[in-house]
Amino acid sequence: MTGERKDMYAYMDLMIKNVVVSPPEVAAKGMAYFDAMDDIATPEALIKEIERFLRPAEQLGGRAKAGATE
C-alpha cells in the first residue's frame, strides 16, 4: 500500500503542477502547498475537478466525441 500511496501522491502533484494556473503558489508547489497546511481534502477535491476538466466527453456522455466527427 505504501507504493500505491506514493504513486497517488506523485500523480496528484504532477496534475496540480501542470493544470492549475492560479493561484501561482499552488501551481508552483503542487502537493507541497497542501502539505504545509496538513490539508488532504482540498487536493482530493481539486484532482476530481482537474480530471473532469480534462475529460469533457465523459461529462456529456460521449456526445462531444460523436459530434466532433459529424
The residue count for the chain:
70
Per-residue pLDDT of the chain (70 residues), as tens digits, is 467 878 999 999 999 999 999 999 999 999 999 999 999 999 999 999 999 999 987 666 655 555 555 4
Chain CA centroid to CA 34, Å:
13
Q: Is-above-0.75 flag for pTM?
A: no
CA distance 12 to 46: 9
The parent domain of residue 33 ranges over: 2-68
Quick one: cell of 31?
502537493
For residue 70, the model assigns a pLDDT of 45
Alpha carbon distance 46, 29 (integer Å): 14
Task: Look at the chain and report how many structural domains it folds into.
Answer: 1
